[in-house]
A and B are shown apart, each in its own frame.
Chain A
C-alpha cells in the first residue's frame, strides 16, 4: 500500500481479537460522512474560507505514549522497546534472557508482528506471560496498541516488560510507546553500515546489542567499524556484544538490565 515501506491498512489484532476501536478502520469512518451533492453547487455560490489548524501529526501518539509511561512509573515497571530488522535474533535473545531472569523479576512480553502468534508462543514456552499484537499490514507498533494491550497483561509492580517491535529498522523509530529505552539489536550478518543507513533508529536507541557474535569467525564483519558507525549517529549509545545462541555476553546484558531496573 504505502510506496516506501509497504505499510498498509491491515487489521490490527491484539491476542487474536479485533480491538473495539480498530473495528471500524479510519478510512471506513471517513467514508460515512455525506459528500455534498454536486447539484447544490450549481444553485448556491459556495464560499471558500481558510482555516488555521496547526495540529501536529505525532502529537496524538506522543500523548498516548506519555500516558503509558505514567502508568509504568506508578507501578515501577521497566518497559524496553526492542527494535531491529527482521531476523536479528530478538526473540531468541528474549527467550534466553527470560530463562535466566525468571526467578528474579516478574516478567512479561508484548510481541509485535504483522502476522502469526509464533513469537508469543516461543515466549510462553519459557513460562513467561506473552501477548501477541498482529499489526496486519502495519509496519510498527504504536502507543495506542500498547495502551490497549496493557490491561490484558495485568502487570504487577516491578515487572520487567519487554516489547518486541515489528522487525523493521525504519518506522518503529518514530513511534514512542512509552518505553524507558529503545534497545536496537544489530546482528553481525547485516553489515557494519546499518547505523549509517538507518540513523534514526540508532539515534533513538539507548543501547545497541551486537548479536550473533558466535558467527564472527566465518564473516568479514569489522566489529570496530560497526561500533564507530553507531557512535557517529549516536555518540552516547551503549554497546554490548553477545550471542543469543552461545550465551556469550549475556552476563553483561543482564547486568545492564539490572542497572536499568534499579535506576528506572
Chain B
C-alpha cells in the first residue's frame, strides 16, 4: 500500500536531517515497520531505490526491522500479539481489540558521513 509516498516521506526526513545534522551522505537507513502497517518491504525497497536515485542516499543500505503487532482487549485488559488488525481476545473472546503496537512506521537511525 502506497509504498511510493512512504519512500518519499523517508527521503524527505533524510533531507531535513541532512540540513540540521550536517551530513553529506547516508550509507545505512534503519526503518521500523509495524507488521500491521500494511507496508510491503519489497515494494518499499523498490520505491526507495527509485526516489533515492541521484540523492545523498543513493545506494544506502535499507535495513527494515519488523515490529510485531500487539493488541489490548478493551473488555478484560489482556494484551496479546496480533497478526491481523482484527480478531478475538485470547482470554475472553471479545472482538474489541485495540492495536497498541505494530501499526506505525518510523525512520529509526541513519549512518551518515
CA gap between A3 and B2 in the complex, in Å: 9
A175–B5 alpha-carbon span in the complex (Å): 11
Q: Is the CB of A57 within 8 A of B105?
A: yes
Chain B residues near A152: list those with CB within 8 A: none
Tell whether, in the assembled complex, residue B8 and residue A174 are in contact, meaning their CB atoms are under 8 Å apart: no
Which residue among B42, B43, B52 has the maximum number of chain A CB atoms within 10 Å of its CB? B43
CA A197 to CA B84, docked complex, whole Å:
11
* CB-contact partner of B15 in A33, A46, A174, under 8 A: A33
Specify which of B56, B106, B113 is in contact with A33 (CB 8 Å cutoff): B56
Q: Is B85's beta carbon under 8 Å from chain A?
A: yes
Range of interface residues on B (Cβ < 8 Å): 35 or more
Query: Using Cβ atoms and an 8 Å threshold, which residues of chain A touch B113?
Result: 36, 46-49
Overall SS of chain B's interface: mixed
- 1/0 per residue A1-23: CB within 8 Å of B? 11111011100000000000000
**In the assembly, what is the distance between CA of A42 and CA of B58, in Å?**
19
Chain A residue at minimum C-beta to C-beta distance from B15: A30
B81 smallest CB distance to A (angstroms)? 17
Write the nearest CB–CB distance from A143 to chain B, whole angstroms: 12
Pick from B1, B5, B58, B109: contact of A53, CB below 8 A.
B109
Cβ distance A107 to chain B, nearest Cβ, rounded Å: 30
Contact residue among A2, A54, A173, A174 (Cβ-Cβ distance under 8 Å from B107):
A54
Most chain A beta-carbon contacts within 10 A, residue among B1, B18, B42, B106:
B1
Contact indicator A56/B104 (Cβ below 8 Å):
yes
Whether B85 contacts A140 by the Cβ 8 Å rule is no
Collect the chain B residues with CB atoms within 8 Å of residue A138's CB.
5
List 9 tightest A-B contacts by C-beta distance, closest first: A2-B4, A235-B95, A3-B43, A30-B55, A233-B86, A4-B43, A171-B2, A46-B113, A36-B24
Could you give 19 example pairs across A and B, Cβ below 8 Å? A2-B4, A3-B3, A3-B42, A4-B3, A8-B4, A26-B12, A27-B51, A35-B56, A48-B112, A49-B23, A54-B107, A56-B104, A60-B9, A142-B5, A170-B38, A174-B1, A174-B38, A199-B84, A199-B85
Q: What residues of chain B have their CB less than 8 Å away from a CB belonging to chain A?
A: 1-6, 8-13, 15, 17-18, 21, 23-25, 27, 37-38, 40, 42-43, 46-47, 50-52, 54-56, 58, 84-86, 95-96, 104-113
Known interface pairs A35-B56, A56-B106; 13 further A-B residue pairs with C-beta atoms within 8 A, sorted by A's residue number: A26-B12, A35-B54, A46-B113, A48-B113, A50-B112, A53-B17, A54-B107, A57-B6, A57-B9, A57-B106, A58-B104, A175-B2, A199-B85
